[in-house]
Amino acid sequence: MRPVGILGGMGPEATILLMQKVLGAVRAADDADHLPLIVHQNPQVPSRIKALLEGGGEDPGPVLAAMAQDLERAGAQALAMPCNTAHHYADAVRAASDLPFLDMLELTAGHLAARGATRIGMLASPATRRVAVFDEIFAAHGLTPVWTGDEDEMLSIIRAVKAGAEMAPLGPRLRALAEAMSEGDAGADHWLVACTELSLMTGSLEGGPGWTDSLDCLVAGVAAFAQG
């Protein structure tokens, strides 16, 4: 087993969900059968929303780079980051460490292409659209992002999750945004949960045209590396 270092805290619940999913990724008869993780749970990573959407926020890049180095010193053999928006700073993480970086966006795009999806309804922070986080990787896999027409509502849902709001009222709001993106001939044929805060409410998407959670794609990558 090879330990994977997790750049976490963006947000804290999303990192805990990743750990739970990694725990469930193997059939274990004893503790030693589980996959080793070294988790840097750092909720003080500067806000990606403030830096990318609101302007003037502190650059998260140096903090993420320092976290990568901490994880390498702690014995990690690869790095993973369960935050889609933070992948805007992935180059800073790669430059800070020689460890392989398990790129959630690349893992997700490969999974979507293999499923035959083409037009992807983006359940994601508006910051990812603003700075084109997915554009290059999606284009390389023949994928087209479909963005919500109500970014204020999407951001409101994400902020509510970060604030610890009850999930039950948020699920129908997320579902409504997803369904709106699938309307018309140019609508989405597949939904992508591309914000790990929204990974906490994927039950609201059941029965739709088909959906993928980017966090599940990262979990699969973590498990494959750890067991490799």
Biggest CA pair distance of the chain:
51
58: tokens are: 């502190």
Q: Buried (b) or exposed (e) across 114-139, using 16+ Cβ within 10 A?
A: eeebebbbbbbbbbbbebebbeebbe
Catalytic residue among 37, 65, 71, 83: 83
Q: Residue 31 in 3-state DSSP?
A: helix
Name the residue among 40, 43, 37 with its Cα closest to residue 13.
43
Cis amide bond preceding 11, omega within 30 = yes
Catalytic residue among 195, 205, 218, 222: 195
Answer yes or no: 217 catalytic: no
Contact present, 17 and 196 (Cβ < 8 Å): yes
Enumerate the active-site residues: 83, 195
